[in-house]
Amino acid sequence: MIKKYLLITISIWFLITNSNAQEATYYLPKAIRTDHTILTFEKVKSTSSKYFINYKAENIGDGVLVIDRSKVSLVQDGGEMRPLSKEYVLKPGEKKTIYNDFRIKAPIKANADQLDLTLYGIRYAMGNGKSLEGDKLVLKSGATQTIGDFSIKLMEYNVYSDRVFAEIKCTYNGGQKRLGKIDLKKITIEGGKAEIVKKGDVVFNGKSYTFAVNITPEDSKFTVDWTGVFQVLNLVDVNIKPIKIKSAAFKEKEKKKEKEKSQDTPKKEKETATKPKSEKEPCALSYNEFTELKNDLKTEVDSGGKPIPMANEYLLVKGCLNTAQVVELMGQFNLDSPRLEFAKMAYQFTSDKHKYHLAVGKLSYNKNKEALEDFLGQQQ
């Protein structure tokens, strides 16, 4: 009985302890976009032993997106963490969630104030549109061939009463800065009607791609025409600046320090520096803060994200902006309806509300202008 009560007491203590423990909330860009890649981030999650920073990668170009997860790093207090090694290949139009689990080890701490995320290992492969040229391969046992950086070997060749079966292995040896591309939709088999299930793929240096061919004979000799099948793609690093990840608590501390610093200014110096109340500048985002929000807003709009909730979160931390900044930020939206929605959301954070009528002029349609004017009338 005593053991039972002791077990219950420990369980209750464990539940209370864990319910009081709160995970830190972190801020990082919603999305990063390049000419051919979009990385859309999920919320940062942390436990006592790991950080989880996952993102959805999308290939919006015509080449091949290659992501080596082992090259990603998370740095804090001089310590560095890396996720387990895994390589992803995304063809045009493909999307994939990249899961990055960083195991915490000293000197790195859980729920840290700041983290630096470095996205190395992301590369993009493009070709010049030209395929490699080579002789036709005559199918017979042990046949081999070389076309550019591709070595071709007939691994199996069997002739049956009603069909011919061949298994062909293609190995690419073009170096670490290039990929081989095999497009089996371009292959031609002469001497019979061929059936090839596979469509081809990209091949890393030193790796092989094997496919099988079933041929219904129309002749006694069978050859493979490789025209258009083989290409070489050049791998180029996708340069993404290191990302500063800050906790909401740390941002609040920074804001508090700035406020305390301004309050510590000597009274006489403060009086000299402060303008008369009538001439006092309205509270606004700093140049760096405004540029950061403007860029993040544009990225969210372009990637089809949620720009207005993102801006709302940002302004909840920063506190205020002025009407001129609201008007310029409205220009980041491509459509009039989200401009109106943003203007309504930003009103509560605006320091010079008496000038907010200027935001009406940024709208294109009369119905939206009237809607904003009605909204402003209700705020009086």
Left (φ > 0), alpha (ψ -120 to 50) or beta: where does 354 sit? Answer: alpha
Fold of 20-126: Immunoglobulin-like (2.60.40)
CA atoms of 41 and 98, how far apart (whole Å): 10
- Both tokens of 91, joined, read 């063809």
The pLDDT value given to residue 24:
77
What is the residue-averaged pLDDT of the chain?
A: 86
For 209-252, write each residue's pLDDT tens digit.
Answer: 999 999 999 999 999 999 999 999 999 999 988 898 988 888 78
Using CB atoms within 10 Å of the CB of residue 133, give its burial: 0 to 12 exposed, 13 to 18 middle, 19+ buried: exposed
Residues in the chain: 380
CA atoms of 186 and 110, how far apart (whole Å): 53
The pLDDT value given to residue 275:
46
The pLDDT value given to residue 317:
82
CA atoms of 46 and 24, how far apart (whole Å): 7
- Residues 302 and 319 sit within 8 Å (Cβ to Cβ): no
| 3-state DSSP assignment of residue 75 | strand
Instruction: Spell out the CATH class of 137-235.
Output: mainly beta
Give the start-to-end residue ranges of the domains of the chain: 20-126, 137-235, 275-379
The pLDDT value given to residue 283:
86
Kindly write down the DSSP assignment for every residue of 238-287, as one continuous string: ---PPEEEEEHHHHHHHHHHHHHHHHTS-HHHHHHHSPPGGGPPPP---H
- Residues 166 and 156 sit within 8 Å (Cβ to Cβ): yes
| 3-state DSSP assignment of residue 373 | helix
The pLDDT value given to residue 66:
96
pTM score, whole prediction: 0.61
137-235 has the same fold as 20-126: yes
The pLDDT value given to residue 277:
42
Query: What tens-digit pLDDT sequence spans the chain (380 residues)?
Result: 544 444 444 344 444 444 444 567 888 888 999 989 999 998 888 888 999 999 999 999 999 999 999 999 999 888 999 999 899 999 999 999 999 999 998 888 888 989 999 999 999 999 888 999 999 999 999 999 999 999 999 999 999 999 999 999 999 999 999 999 999 999 999 999 999 989 999 999 999 999 999 999 999 999 999 999 999 999 999 998 889 898 888 878 877 777 777 666 555 444 444 444 444 567 889 988 899 899 888 888 888 888 998 888 888 888 889 999 999 999 999 899 999 999 999 999 999 999 999 999 899 899 999 899 888 888 86
